[in-house]
Structure 1
Amino acid sequence: MTHTYKVTGMTCSSCEAKVKSSLLLLPDVTAVAVSKEKQTATITMEKHIPLSVFQHSLNEKYTISAIEHNETAEQAKSWVATYKPILLIFAYITAIALIAAIKYDAIDWMHGMNVFMAGFFLAFSFFKLLDLNGFADSYAMYDIVAKKWRGWGFVYPFIELGLGISYTIGFQSLLTNIVTIVVMTVSIIGVLKSVFNKRKIQCACLGAVFNLPMSTVTIIEDALMIVMSAVMLFSMLYR
């Protein structure tokens, strides 16, 4: 991917060299051609990089702006491309859950959520188990339990697998939902700390198979599991 940007503030060859060297230091940037006469920088990158990242890398005397593309559209395309695996998985599981929830003229939302939870845990544990050691390494970078005991990274996928099977067969629904709330609450604490501290690390939600960055998507994923299990738990206790 190559884009040409307007860069103002360059007045000499030294400025040109500084802008080029600063941009080349950024991850995913593979080539940079800078012209002080045209006040431009043509940047080749492995994936789209937000304009704010480029600006942050430059000295405050230089200002960079997009001139040949729509920055908002490019960021949206880049976001979809980055999270495509998890978006597809959620789409499949949601579709199956909705189909399972439809009964005659009504929709059984509780059954639909149960199917969704089963599909979620079975699918996500599968990807983690494909490279258990890689998942444990990634998980230990941010999870509050795995940081202190790396073995938790080896145990966690099997807990997810057990929860997926439990939701599938309806085993001890009360206990299953309580365990889900506890496990996902512990998990989301480390995610929240990493996102709020703006740590650029790999999310281990799909194991080490896909290189997904830690972001609000991970928070939503964990929070959704907590909310759905809490709703089902409340429904069982007060029906």
Structure 2
Amino acid sequence: MIHTYKLTGMTCSSCEAKVKSAIQNIENVTNVEVSKAENSATITMDKHIALKGLQKVLDNKYQISSINHIEIEEQTTSWFETYKPILLLFFYITIVTLLAQQGNHHFNFMQWMQHFMAGFFLVFSFFKLLNLKGFADSYVMYDVLAKRFPLWAYLYVFIELGLGIAFLIDFNPILTNSITFVVMSISIIGVLQSVLNKEKIQCACLGSVFNLPMSTVTIIEDALMIAMSGIMLFYSIHLAS
């Protein structure tokens, strides 16, 4: 995509060169044209870069603002494009598991969560298995357990697969949900640390197939699994007592 911005504060050719060099070093920027005479900068980028990201690399005397595009719309479009794979997966899993409830006389929330968890773990482990080493290499970058024991990154995939099968066949709900709660709680620690520290690393939730950045989306994903497993664990213990 190509966007033209209003860029003020340039007073000489040296300013033009300085601004151009700074913007060119931003990730996903492929070309920059700067004009002092027109107070403009035309930037070609692989994906949309927020104004604050552009302003951050410039000296305070240079001010950049959008001209021919609406920044909020661009950021929203860019966000959806970035996370489209994981959003689509959640959408399909949700729809399929809701349709599975059509055979019941009434909506069974616990059963729906069980089926959702089965779909989640089976689908996500599938993408990880497409490139097991690629997933492991990404996972050890942020997971607290995998950093100390790299083998855990490989085991994690098969644990996910096993949990998916266990949820699908309704195997020992107390054990299955307990393992899920513990595993996902450990997993979210590294995710929280990476997001809070603003580390720019790849999220390994879909393996190395998609280049998804670590963000609050990953936190929500893990937190959802923890919440669901916690609810089902409480319900299973209540039934057993």
Aligning the two structures, in what range does the TM-score lie when normalised by the shorter sequence? over 0.9
Query: 1:68 corresponds to which residue?
Result: 68
Counterpart check, 1:233 vs 2:211: no
8 Å CA contact 1:100–1:111 kept in 2: the answer is no
* 4+ long deviations beyond 2 Å: 101-105
The residue identity in structure 2 corresponding to 1:232 is M
The equivalences for 1:104-119 within 5 A come to 104-119=104-119
For residues 129 and 85 of structure 1, the distance between their equivalents in structure 2, rounded to whole angstroms, comes to 17
The residue identity in structure 2 corresponding to 1:19 is V
For residues 106 and 118 of structure 2, the distance between their equivalents in structure 1, rounded to whole angstroms, comes to 21
1:96 positional shift: 1.2
For residues 224 and 98 of structure 1, the distance between their equivalents in structure 2, rounded to whole angstroms, comes to 17
For residues 101 and 184 of structure 1, the distance between their equivalents in structure 2, rounded to whole angstroms, comes to 26
For residues 104 and 56 of structure 2, the distance between their equivalents in structure 1, rounded to whole angstroms, comes to 57
Q: SS where residue 6 of structure 1 aligns?
A: strand
1:105 positional shift: 4.5
The residue identity in structure 1 corresponding to 2:82 is T
For residues 230 and 149 of structure 2, the distance between their equivalents in structure 1, rounded to whole angstroms, comes to 28
Query: 2:154 corresponds to which residue?
Result: 154
For residues 55 and 23 of structure 1, the distance between their equivalents in structure 2, rounded to whole angstroms, comes to 9
Q: TM-score, normalised by structure 2?
A: 0.97
Query: 1:8 corresponds to which residue?
Result: 8
**Cα deviation per residue 1:186-217 (whole Å; 9 max; x = unaligned)?**
00000000000000000000001100000000
The residue identity in structure 2 corresponding to 1:163 is L
The equivalences for 1:83-232 within 5 A come to 83-232=83-232
8 Å CA contact 1:144–1:190 kept in 2: the answer is yes
The equivalences for 1:19-34 within 5 A come to 19-34=19-34
The residue identity in structure 2 corresponding to 1:28 is N
**Taking every aligned residue pair, what percent have the same amino acid on both sides?**
62
Query: 1:48 corresponds to which residue?
Result: 48
1:103 positional shift: 4.5
For residues 86 and 176 of structure 1, the distance between their equivalents in structure 2, rounded to whole angstroms, comes to 24
8 Å CA contact 1:97–1:115 kept in 2: the answer is yes
1:101 positional shift: 2.8
The residue identity in structure 1 corresponding to 2:13 is S
After superposition, the CA RMSD in angstroms is: 0.9
For residues 47 and 144 of structure 2, the distance between their equivalents in structure 1, rounded to whole angstroms, comes to 31
8 Å CA contact 1:101–1:109 kept in 2: the answer is no
Q: TM-score, normalised by structure 1?
A: 0.98
1:238 positional shift: 2.1
**Cα deviation per residue 1:164-192 (whole Å; 9 max; x = unaligned)?**
00000011111000000000000000000
The count of residues paired between Structure 1 and Structure 2 equals: 239
8 Å CA contact 1:102–1:108 kept in 2: the answer is no
For residues 235 and 149 of structure 2, the distance between their equivalents in structure 1, rounded to whole angstroms, comes to 35
Shifted more, 92-101 versus 208-217: the winner is 92-101
For residues 214 and 64 of structure 1, the distance between their equivalents in structure 2, rounded to whole angstroms, comes to 27
**Cα deviation per residue 1:127-174 (whole Å; 9 max; x = unaligned)?**
000000000000000000111111111111000000000000011111
Query: 1:82 corresponds to which residue?
Result: 82
The residue identity in structure 1 corresponding to 2:17 is A
Q: SS where residue 7 of structure 1 aligns?
A: strand
For residues 186 and 48 of structure 1, the distance between their equivalents in structure 2, rounded to whole angstroms, comes to 33
The residue identity in structure 2 corresponding to 1:152 is W
For residues 206 and 96 of structure 2, the distance between their equivalents in structure 1, rounded to whole angstroms, comes to 20
